[in-house]
Structure 1
Amino acid sequence: MEENKNYTVSIYSENNIGLLNRISAIFQRRHINIESINVSESEIEHVAKWTVVVSLNEKLLKKIIGQIEKQVEVIKAFYHKQDEIIYQESCLFKIKSDLLFEERQIQNIIKDSNANIVTVNKEFFVLEKSGRTEEIALLHRELKVFGIMQLTRSGRIAVTKDEMKISKRLAKISN
C-alpha cells in the first residue's frame, strides 16, 4: 500500500457560493482531513485559486483531483509534492506584555525566529511569524512554555517552482 504524504492541491475555479461545501465533501466522503485551505484571487481576473493541503497517497489523490474537476465551476485542479512548490504560512501569537519586558529569553526567541512584533499594549503584545510549517511550529513550542493567550494560523499559500501553463490557458478563456 502506498504511503501517505503531504500534498498541496491547487484548484482554479469560478468563485461561486456552495463550491466550498462540495469540494470539502469530496474529501470528507473518503475520510480525508484537510490540513489547511486558502482561497484567494488568482493571477487571472474573476478566477479564484484554492490552495488545499492534505495527507494521503498519490493514487487516491489522483481520483480526488478527477472528482474536483467534475464540479462545473472548477476550471482545473493540480497537485504538487512538497519539493515542487514555494510556500509560506503565517501565524499570530498573543502573549502577556509583562513577559516581553521581564523575560529576556522571549526577546531572544523573537530575534532568532525573525518574528515581527505587530502591536504592544499594557496587557499583551502580538507577534507575527511567516515561514515554513516547521519554523512556525518551532516558535510555537518555544513560546508555549511562557503561555500563549491566543494563537491563529493561516492556511498555506503556495506557488509552483515551474511555470503553470494554466495561466496562459485561463488568460485566453477570460478575454
Structure 2
Amino acid sequence: MENKMFTISVYSENNVGLLNRISGIFLKRHINILSLNVSESEIENVSRFVIVVNTTEKWVHNIVGQIEKQIEVIKAFYHIDEETIFLESAIFKIESSLLFDERQIQNIIKESKAEIVTVSREFFVLSKSGKRSEIEELYAKLKPFGIMQFVRSGRISVSKEKMEISTLLEALS
C-alpha cells in the first residue's frame, strides 16, 4: 500500500488530556502529524480535531479505530484530499519600508490575493488563506525581501459528502 495524505476528523467532548492521548496514538506508531487544528464544531459543546497525516489507508483505519476507543471521542472519520475542501491560513510580518519602496512587493500582494491586515511605521502584516502550495509560493516570493515573522495554521477542512455526525448525536440524545 502506498502512502497518501489523509485528513482525520475527530468529534469529541472538550476534556483536558485528550489531545495528549490522541497524539500518543500517532507517536506509538511512529506516524508524524503534519497538521493539527482543534476548534469548536458545528455541534454545541462538541470539539473537532482536524489532523493531517501521510500514511497508508490501513494505518489510518487502525488509528481512527484507536482514537474512537477514547471515552470522550464521539466519532472519528478519515478522508483523502479529493474528498474534502480544505484551507490553511498564514500571516507574514514584513518591514514597512518595503511596502512603499518596492513596487514588486505590491504586485506580489495583488497577484497572490493576500490581504494587508495592518500597517505601522516599522512593519506591515499580510494574511493569506488558501492551499498550502499557494502559501508556500507567496513565502518563496517574499523571502528575498526579508520576512520578519511567519506563521501558518493547521489545515481546516469540511468533507464534500455529508458526515453523519449530527444524526449520530441526535440518536444518542
Q: Which residue of structure 2 aligns with residue 122 of structure 1?
A: 121
Q: Distance in 2 between matches of 1:18 and 1:90?
A: 26
Taking the TM superposition and a 5 Å limit, the aligned residue runs for 1:79-90 are 79-90=78-89
Q: Which residue of structure 1 aligns with residue 3 of structure 2?
A: 4
Q: Which residue of structure 1 aligns with residue 109 of structure 2?
A: 110
Q: Which residue of structure 1 aligns with residue 34 of structure 2?
A: 35
1:100 maps to amino acid: L
What CA deviation, in whole Å up to 9, does each residue of 1:6-36 have, x standing for no partner?
Answer: 1100001111000000000000111111111
Q: Which residue of structure 1 aligns with residue 154 of structure 2?
A: 155
Q: Which residue of structure 2 aligns with residue 49 of structure 1?
A: 48
Q: Distance in 2 between matches of 1:127 and 1:93?
A: 5
1:71 maps to amino acid: Q
Q: Which residue of structure 2 aligns with residue 58 of structure 1?
A: 57
Deviation at 1:44, TM superposition (A): 1.0
Q: Which residue of structure 2 aligns with residue 17 of structure 1?
A: 16
Alignment RMSD: 0.9
Q: Distance in 2 between matches of 1:12 and 1:162?
A: 16
What CA deviation, in whole Å up to 9, does each residue of 1:64-92 have, x standing for no partner?
Answer: 11110110111111100001001111000
Question: Which ranges of 4 or more aligned residues in structure 1 deviate by more than 2 Å?
Answer: none
TM-score, structure 2 as length reference: 0.97
Structure 1: stretches of 5+ with no match in the other structure: none
Deviation at 1:171, TM superposition (A): 3.3
Structure 2: stretches of 5+ with no match in the other structure: none
SS at match of 1:36: strand
Q: Which residue of structure 2 aligns with residue 142 of structure 1?
A: 141
What CA deviation, in whole Å up to 9, does each residue of 1:97-133 have, x standing for no partner?
Answer: 0111111111000000000000001110000000111
Q: Which residue of structure 1 aligns with residue 97 of structure 2?
A: 98
SS at match of 1:164: coil
TM-score, structure 1 as length reference: 0.96
Deviation at 1:167, TM superposition (A): 1.7
Q: Distance in 2 between matches of 1:72 and 1:108?
A: 51
Q: How many residues align?
A: 173
2:34 maps to amino acid: E
SS at match of 2:147: coil
Q: Distance in 2 between matches of 1:63 and 1:127?
A: 40
